[in-house]
Homo-oligomer: A and B are copies of this chain.
């Protein structure tokens, strides 16, 4: 049976229940591991579930950060160095990825602590996560504060994409299911994904048509 939950009622929920419910309303997300370094070379790796597409030309994506979250090391490092790595999460290491959300101290290198392997690329000082099927090297270009709750929106430019050629179609589509990356819901649920269909570009005078 459909129930209605109003704003007043939601605000009376116990905090963790409200946090879970509202986070779940964000629906399916694409968690990634953000790799950063501070000025002394201390590395940090943290899971973010707030990646979103901002534009293709130039290639831009957003990341939303709560300043008081475990991501504070990431935010502080990005403010210092601007450059960072983005590592999509393969099903084989989603538990290690989730574990990076623990409040380790600043001197902890999460790669080592949770059991992920570092992978260095030419001219990139911060490592990637080995076996991550899609990796980006990115630069932060803007920071926007959202006054309603003091979260920070980072606008970032993609500088390099690393991807297996077998998952990249001729038309630019990435077969993310074949790549084996996972999605997430809320704060703690991880999902495998099965493509239903791609559909043709929608046109007013034509019905929806299956592309593949």
Binding site for B on A (CB under 8 A): 1-7, 10-11, 13, 15-30, 32, 50-62, 64, 66, 88, 91, 94-96, 98-104, 108, 121, 134, 136, 141-142, 144, 146-149, 151, 153, 155, 157-166, 168-174, 176-177, 181-183, 185-204, 206-208, 211
B50 and A64 contacting across the interface, CB-CB below 8 Å: no
Number of identical monomers bound together in the oligomeric complex: 2
Write out the residue numbers on chain B whose beta carbons fall within 8 Å of the beta carbon of A23. 53, 56
| Residue numbers in B under 8 Å from A190 (CB-CB) | 195-199
Asked if A159 contacts B51 (CB within 8 A), the reply is no
**Can you identify 21 A-B contacts, CB atoms within 8 angstroms?**
A2-B162, A3-B162, A5-B160, A7-B159, A11-B58, A17-B171, A20-B171, A22-B158, A25-B61, A25-B158, A25-B174, A27-B30, A60-B146, A99-B208, A144-B144, A144-B153, A177-B191, A188-B198, A191-B194, A192-B194, A192-B196
Structural contact, B192 and A193, CB atoms closer than 8 A:
yes
* A206 cross-chain contacts in B, Cβ below 8 A: 102
Q: Which residue of B lies closest to A160 (CB)?
A: B6
CB of A88 within 8 A of CB of B27, answer yes
Which of B6, B21, B199 is close to A188, meaning CB atoms less than 8 Å apart? B199
> Would you give the shortest CB distance from A130 to chain B, in whole angstroms?
11
Q: Which of chain B's residues have a CB closer than 8 A to the CB of A99?
A: 202, 207-208
Q: Which of B32, B144, B160, B173 contacts A189 (CB 8 A)?
A: B173
B27 touches A163 (CB 8 A): no
- Chain B: CB-nearest residue to A66: B55
